[in-house]
């Protein structure tokens, strides 16, 4: 029952989603850092991609997608020992090996998103230990809840491509990590600006392209849902870019490249949970909300909450993912949308969506905090003041990005 068209599209989507972490996210975050820390950021993203892959094979995939119970999967799919090479994954016309690979790229990028919270001041062993434990103890259970037949799936939560699973978990974990770690020197008024805005733009452009695999690939078929997901993803990203640019232009007198592309990412994150359920009109609305709300939340997190979430993971991904998750209940019925499940009202669906966001946010915050405390007690969390001043490129990795 394996379909060659579906398989070809998801093979392509898998490559696109891996592209989102390496090189796209690495370049996006690397350009936002100081010149003495760019290689450390690239190393974080690259190492997490490598670390998450065998962990997903050994246990993560099984915990997320094996039958198990309403809370967690069992280990029946550990190491893929029970996989039939030629069998299709249930409910699809894809080889299970391909479904495994596609989902693995999501398991790679989610802990990599958290990198943006702790750049320039974290110990490299802490990055590895936290990311590995977080993948198994936070990401895998939440994936099971939403996509693996767990309790939120049974309630009918709508999360097409990861508003809850990816963006809420990463955003909340980033906020907790930044709060526990403490701010950079000079925060909030004297932090050095991004060292390479051109690099940020290249990373954002690659993310924009890769996101078509992220969202349209989540249809796990080459069909109308995939086509609509691709369309609304692009419309939301473009709209949020223009809205962020307009707000910045009015507020500061000049539109910045870094601001524009941050708006793009906000639009992409916010449309993610809704992408397979809404139509083009809803995409315009979601993009406009993303560009304005996420812009506002950047200031809230750093100024009002006084948390140095360095590269705005919570404001862009956490808030964006949560907002899109709630909006899907309100906008799925607009032209081009898939509508809600038969017999489900807008209010009831909104309640399920809100429960999904709040419960996952709370679970992520508590478990992330516990993992951070364990990490701090074993390998240490924060680099020394001297290492931070010199930059982590040389002090942690013995290299420099620029020989000037």
Encode 296-330: b = buried (16+ Cβ within 10 Å), e = exposed.
Answer: ebbeebbeeeebbbbbbbbbbbbbbbbbbbbbbbb
pLDDT tens-digit series, residues 252-278: 999 999 999 999 999 999 999 999 999
Q: What is the DSSP letter of 192?
A: P
Find where tokens 């990373």 sit: 203
Encode 113-125: b = buried (16+ Cβ within 10 Å), e = exposed.
Answer: bbbbbbbbbbbbe
CA 104 – CA 52 distance, rounded (Å) = 8
CA distances from residue 160 to 68, 313, 325, 328 in whole angstroms, order as listed: 22, 20, 9, 10
CA 181 – CA 156 distance, rounded (Å) = 37
Helix or strand (DSSP H, E) at 278:
none
Tell me what pLDDT residue 320 has.
98
Find where tokens 């081009």 sit: 336
- Peptide bond preceding 188: is omega within 30 degrees of 0, i.e. cis? yes
CB atoms closer than 10 angstroms to residue 87: 12
Tell me what pLDDT residue 1 has.
87
From 137, 171, 134, select the one nearest 273 (Cα to Cα).
Answer: 171
Tell me what pLDDT residue 403 has.
87
- Mean pLDDT calculated for residue range 124-137: 98
Domain boundaries, the chain: 4-397
The C-alpha R_g of the chain, in whole angstroms, comes to 20
Altogether, the residues listed in the chain come to a count of: 404
Domain 4-397 -> CATH class? mainly alpha
Q: In whole angstroms, what separates CA 217 from the centre of its chain?
A: 15
Task: Tell me if 340 sits within 8 A of 327, measured CB to CB.
Answer: no
Confidence of residue 15 (pLDDT cuts 50, 70, 90): very high
- Peptide bond preceding 82: is omega within 30 degrees of 0, i.e. cis? no
Structure tokens at 272: 């993610």
Tell me what pLDDT residue 310 has.
96
pLDDT tens-digit series, residues 376-393: 999 999 999 999 999 999
pLDDT tens-digit series, residues 168-187: 999 999 999 999 999 999 99
pLDDT tens-digit series, residues 55-82: 999 999 999 999 999 999 999 999 999 9
Strand partners, 382: 122
- Phi (first) and psi of residue 168, to 5 degrees: -65, -45
pLDDT at 404 over 80: no
Confidence of residue 157 (pLDDT cuts 50, 70, 90): very high
User: What does the CA dihedral 328, 329, 334, 338 come to, rounded to 10 degrees?
Assistant: 80
pLDDT tens-digit series, residues 227-247: 999 999 999 999 999 999 999
């Amino acid at each position: 029952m394996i379909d060659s068209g579906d398989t070809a599209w998801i093979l392509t989507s898998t490559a696109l989603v891996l592209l989102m972490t390496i090189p796209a996210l690495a370049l996006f975050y690397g350009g936002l850092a100081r010149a003495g820390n760019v290689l450390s950021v690239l190393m974080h993203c690259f190492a997490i991609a490598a670390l998450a892959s065998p962990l997903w094979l050994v246990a993560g995939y099984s915990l997320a997608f094996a039958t198990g119970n309403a809370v967690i999967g069992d280990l029946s799919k550990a190491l893929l020992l029970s996989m039939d090479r030629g069998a299709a994954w249930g409910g699809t016309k894809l080889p299970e090996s391909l479904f495994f690979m596609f989902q693995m790229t999501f398991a790679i990028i989610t802990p990599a998103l958290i990198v943006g919270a702790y750049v320039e001041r974290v110990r490299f062993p802490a990055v590895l230990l936290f990311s590995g434990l977080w993948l198994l103890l936070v990401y895998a259970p939440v994936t099971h809840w939403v996509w693996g037949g767990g309790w939120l799936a049974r309630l009918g939560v709508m999360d097409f491509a990861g508003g809850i699973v990816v963006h809420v978990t990463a955003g909340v974990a980033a906020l907790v990590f930044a709060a526990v770690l403490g701010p950079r020197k000079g925060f909030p008024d004297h932090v050095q600006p991004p060292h390479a805005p051109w690099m940020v733009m290249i990373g954002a452009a690659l993310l924009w392209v890769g996101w078509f695999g992220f969202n349209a690939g989540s249809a796990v078929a080459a069909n109308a849902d995939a086509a609509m997901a691709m369309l609304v993803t692009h419309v939301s990203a473009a709209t949020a870019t223009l809205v962020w640019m307009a707000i910045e232009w009015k507020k500061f007198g000049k539109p910045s490249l870094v601001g524009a592309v941050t708006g793009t990412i906000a639009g992409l994150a916010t449309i993610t949970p809704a992408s397979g359920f809404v139509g083009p009109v809803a995409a315009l609305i979601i993009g406009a909300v993303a560009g304005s709300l996420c812009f506002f939340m950047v200031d809230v997190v750093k100024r009002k909450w006084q948390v140095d979430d360095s590269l705005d993971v919570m404001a862009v991904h956490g808030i964006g993912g949560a907002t899109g998750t709630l909006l899907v209940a309100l906008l799925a019925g607009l032209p081009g949308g898939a509508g809600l499940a038969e017999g489900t009202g807008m209010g009831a669906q909104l309640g399920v969506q809100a429960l999904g966001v709040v419960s996952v946010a709370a679970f992520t915050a508590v478990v992330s905090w516990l993992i951070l405390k364990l990490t701090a007690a074993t390998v240490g969390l924060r680099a020394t003041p001297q290492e931070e001043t010199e930059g982590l490129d040389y002090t942690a990795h013995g290299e420099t990005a620029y020989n000037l």
